[in-house]
Amino acid sequence: MVMEDFDEARRQAETAVYVREAFANYEVNNMLTGEILALVAMYSDSDFAAEAKRDLEVVQKTVQAFKANVWTNGGLQRQVASMPKAASYCGDLGVTTETFGNKTLIHMQDKATGANISLLGFMDQSTPEEEFVMGIQSIKGTVAGVVGLIGSITLLSDACRVRMAPLFPQRNILPLGF
């Protein structure tokens, strides 16, 4: 019993060191990653997660603007409704979607900056309006890089140049201007 208590205490101490180091690294490199996303979810009330939490809130607000302006009102949801997989590319920017049931995975990337974000959305049947709920599934990049990526996709959508096409096996993908 004493050895088990010691092992548990050691594991907790190692976890605490790992978490603090991860957030300390974030403060230095400001790189949002899936790891930081998960750690913020687990330690959102801690002081050492505050900066990353604020940055993720900025990205989440941008995601909600994307949802309203591009996905819902911009027609992207209608474009991909009948396509299980779809894609659109313009230069270094790309958007791919995969729909399964009432869920859609939207992946955006900027090859020039390396920024990318995946959003998972689903139709919430519990609300009368059947609201499409959308959140961050994975992320890589600085706040400026990810927000800039989403902003660029939004601007292209506003210019009516986002056109999704069915995505076939990798060998058949053709770049599409949007």
Q: What is the pLDDT of residues 41-83, one digit of tens each?
A: 999 898 889 999 999 999 999 999 999 888 888 788 888 877 8
pLDDT for residue 161: 56
- Residue 7, in any domain of the structure: yes
Q: pTM for the full model?
A: 0.82
- Residue 175, in any domain of the structure: no
Q: How many CB atoms lie under 10 A from the CB of residue 51?
A: 14
CB 89 within 8 A of CB 162: no
- Residue 172, in any domain of the structure: no
Q: Which amino acid, residue 13? A: A
- Residue 174, in any domain of the structure: no
* Structural domain boundaries, residue 45: 2-165
CB 131 within 8 A of CB 124: yes
pLDDT for residue 145: 97
Supply φ then ψ for residue 173, to 5 degrees.
-70, 130
Structurally, how many domains does the chain consist of?
A: 1
- Residue 57, in any domain of the structure: yes
- Residue 79, in any domain of the structure: yes
What whole-number distance in Å separates Cα of residue 59 and Cα of residue 7? 39
Residue whose token pair is 């920017």: 93
- Residue 95, in any domain of the structure: yes
